[in-house]
Amino acid sequence: MELLKKENLKGLPLPDLEKRILEMGHPAFRAKQLYRWIYKERETDFEKMTDLSKDFRKTLQEKFELPQIEVSETHPSDDGTIKYLVKLSDGEQVESVFIPTEGRVTLCVSTQVGCKMACSFCATGYQKFVRDLKAWEIVDQLMSIPHPRPITNIVLMGMGEPFDNYEEVMKALQLFNDPRGLKIGKRHITVSTVGITDKIQSFIDASLGKLAISLHGTTDEQRASIMPINAKFPLPELMDTCRKLKFKGTERITFEYILIKDLNDSDADALRLVKLVQGIPVKINLLAYNENPFIDFKRPSEERVLKFQNILLKHHLTSTYRRSRGRDVAAACGQLRIEAENRLKRKAWEKLKGIPPLHSSTFAPEPVLGA
């Protein structure tokens, strides 16, 4: 006899969970109790939820489950960054990064397996899009990974385009924000998009996180050469959308700008960027390209980056230079997943050919610490 598949209760914002519990004939306060156990206590065993009645716990045990993601590889960096390769319930893998800095601990989470955007500077962009992550898989990168320190900030800047998985991402943001559970408020959450313009105002209206836009070019032609999404949402349309945004309070947009040697890092680019963002409440976050072996772009010198930043500062633009973290542990987004897939393919090929595993040292992973 085939066992009935249990329904997943993780990933439901409280109103949705209350609706589900009411449909079962139980009072709404039971949902609040259950919600606290799942998100505040992070308990996955219904039997240990001791303030729920025995009959209710038995019903939950029979009909529902609270799944967890798994860490398949843990790669610690010399700078304190930890990169995780995370295994999902269907065997697919994404990346999540623990980033400690003075005064905060940031977790960078993924929202999709692969990505449709195909940005030419991004390792994830070279991977086939597989599927969207569910809301529970997004928040579980916080809940089920044993981070060495409590997480204070969340950035949705890992694998995938958050606005291409908009509904599940918004559910996840509700869960991150809720003071009755995970308690990471809007001011401590940043969502990065390539600029899907028809979702930006609704995201601002929801007030669940701060907006960051991947810019990376100062002309339409330049941006289109490295970001195919620019054909659908051209740079002039993106900037016009940003100028017309209706913010609540004193919010502003962060423009992420990756400096790639001899592509978009000239003084002329800096001056065009100044002109491009006029009239927009903005902060410019500069990053030097994080090189990886799959893509033939180069990192500019520190001197070039600082000169570019200085031009922005002289024109009274708020600008930060975010230095790369975890460069010694394949920290470029998507790189670790590619390497893991290559190792699996190599092992399968060796098994087929009868080659001893010793011969695969070229593809062997770096030493991995237990999660």
The rounded mean pLDDT for the chain is: 88
Please compute Rg for the chain using Cα positions: 22
Amino acid at 1: M
The answer to whether residues 52 and 85 belong to one domain is no
320 lies in a domain?
yes
The answer to whether residues 134 and 35 belong to one domain is no
The answer to whether residues 125 and 216 belong to one domain is yes
Let me know how long the chain is.
371
The answer to whether residues 200 and 136 belong to one domain is yes
369 lies in a domain?
no
| Residue 118 pLDDT > 60 | yes
The answer to whether residues 50 and 167 belong to one domain is no
1 lies in a domain?
no
371 lies in a domain?
no
Confidence of residue 250 (pLDDT cuts 50, 70, 90): confident
Please tell me the total count of domains within the chain: 2
271 lies in a domain?
yes
Residues of the chain above pLDDT 70, percent: 86
Question: Hey, is 94 helix, strand or coil?
Answer: strand
E strands, the chain, are 7-8, 64-65, 70-76, 82-87, 93-101, 104-108, 112-113, 131-132, 153-156, 189-193, 210-214, 253-259, 282-288, 318-321
The answer to whether residues 128 and 19 belong to one domain is no
Domain that holds residue 25: 8-65
CA distance 171 to 178: 11
The answer to whether residues 186 and 106 belong to one domain is yes
The residues with which 60 forms a beta bridge, in sequence order, are none
The answer to whether residues 36 and 86 belong to one domain is no
204 lies in a domain?
yes
> Could you give the residue ranges of the DSSP H alpha helices within 144-234?
166-177, 197-206, 220-226
pTM, entire model: 0.87
Confidence of residue 337 (pLDDT cuts 50, 70, 90): low
Confidence of residue 335 (pLDDT cuts 50, 70, 90): low
- What contacts 129, CB < 8 A, 6 or more positions away? 112, 113, 114, 115, 116
The answer to whether residues 38 and 98 belong to one domain is no
Note the pLDDT tens digit of each residue in 268-316: 999 999 999 999 999 999 999 988 777 889 999 999 999 999 999 999 9
350 lies in a domain?
no
The answer to whether residues 225 and 157 belong to one domain is yes
Can you give the CATH number for the domain in which 30 is found?
Answer: 1.10.150.530
137 lies in a domain?
yes
Can you give the CATH number for the domain in which 126 is found?
Answer: 3.20.20.70
The answer to whether residues 81 and 199 belong to one domain is yes
Q: What is residue 12's predicted lDDT score, i.e. its pLDDT?
A: 96
Q: What is residue 5's predicted lDDT score, i.e. its pLDDT?
A: 85
Q: What is residue 366's predicted lDDT score, i.e. its pLDDT?
A: 36
The answer to whether residues 131 and 49 belong to one domain is no
Active-site residues, by number, are 95, 333
Going by C-alpha positions, the residue among 81, 123, 88, 86 that lies closest to residue 335 is 123
